Amino acid sequence: MNVLTQYIVKEILKGSFIALILLLTLFNLFTLADELKDIGKGSYDLPAIFTYLALTSPRVCYELVPASALLGSLFVLGAMGNNRELIAMRAAGVSVLGIIQSVLVAGAILATFAIGMGELIAPTAETSAQMLRATAQNQQLVSNARYGLWLREGDKFINVRKLEPNGELADVSIYELNNDAHLQTVTHAQKATYLENEQWRLENLAQSHISIEKMQANTQTQQTWQTKIAPDLVKIAVVNPDNLSLLDLAQYIQFLKSNQQKSQTFELAFWGRVVNPFVTFVMLLVATPFVIGVKRGVNVGSRMMIGIVIGMSFNILDKIFGHVGLIYDFNPFLVTILPSLIVSSVSIYALKKVTVSA
């Protein structure tokens, strides 16, 4: 790596991380405003809110890396163009392709950073954040396991394996301990429906009473379950894609398919996680022709506006494809990769025109 390449890479990384910090601060301020509405609910106080923000920051940071790369590269390369540094580099023998190659080297570093953040830090931190928020607001102990949601209420431990779209719970197990912390009763219900006044209706349940002398089993069509567990608590979701790494997502998708359950939402999350680091390269490819092709003297505000418009357009396009894919049951991989392919194709075409004209 020569001196000019090192200089370009260093400046793009510096600009991208500054943009990342600014965007992360902005997003956290919006989140703070939303969370302040819930202050005082249970034990959810200001320190808990700031802890929640700190724990959700790795996930937000991971999602903002592509946008930060776009804004940072537009700012840095634009400044180089205005200061005639790019002209000096061209005069020193650096081609347009050489500048693009340096930009992509910076992209590789940013993508590596995003992968590390998204796979090693964000899933665990996001799980802790949701647990902290739920337990503080609902005063119940929650442990979000890989294949289900565990809750504790006094001497009862509840496991929910599936949350239906209409809010009903499916495959619910309730384990009750006696005063000696020995298992006393095991109840399994195929479905649980919230009624009112802290009551749920358990349907198609099997119940086992366990003691030293004997074990007695019986079945019932339905039974009322009195509990202070709020419906909002279980609406966190049995499994949240944001809480899972790529490996966990792959295993959970296989788990859903083996149980003949819909897995498209998690497949979209899986392929989105795979594609996200490459989106960084797409954003850098988008920025380069705008900087090299735009006349010198364009101010920073104009370049930032270009970046914001491009970033928002790509995000809207990506969301539209995702929702259309879910509605019409399209292939999750194609739905995820198509927006990036369209934008990168347009960027490569623009780069070719700039390269030829240069």
Residue 125 in tokens: 């931190």
DSSP assignment of 91-102 equals HTT--HHHHHHH
Strand partners, 141: 152
Q: Which residues contact 146 (CB under 8 A, 6 or more apart)?
A: 239, 244, 248, 251, 252
Strand ranges (E), 297-353: none
Cα angle value 278/281/283 (rounded, 5°): 110
Q: In the chain, which residues have pLDDT < 50? A: 236-238
Q: Where are the domains of the chain?
A: 3-138+241-357, 148-234
Q: Which residues contact 232 (CB under 8 A, 6 or more apart)?
A: 138
For helices 332-357 and 264-293, the axis angle rounded to 10 degrees is 10
Question: How far, in Å, CA of 173 to CA of 188, rounded?
Answer: 4
Query: What pLDDT is stored for residue 318 in this prediction?
Result: 84
C-alpha closest to that of 191 among 200, 203, 199: 203
CA 6 centroid distance within chain: 32
C-alpha closest to that of 203 among 190, 186, 214: 190
pTM confidence score:
0.75
Question: How far, in Å, CA of 315 to CA of 272, rounded?
Answer: 12
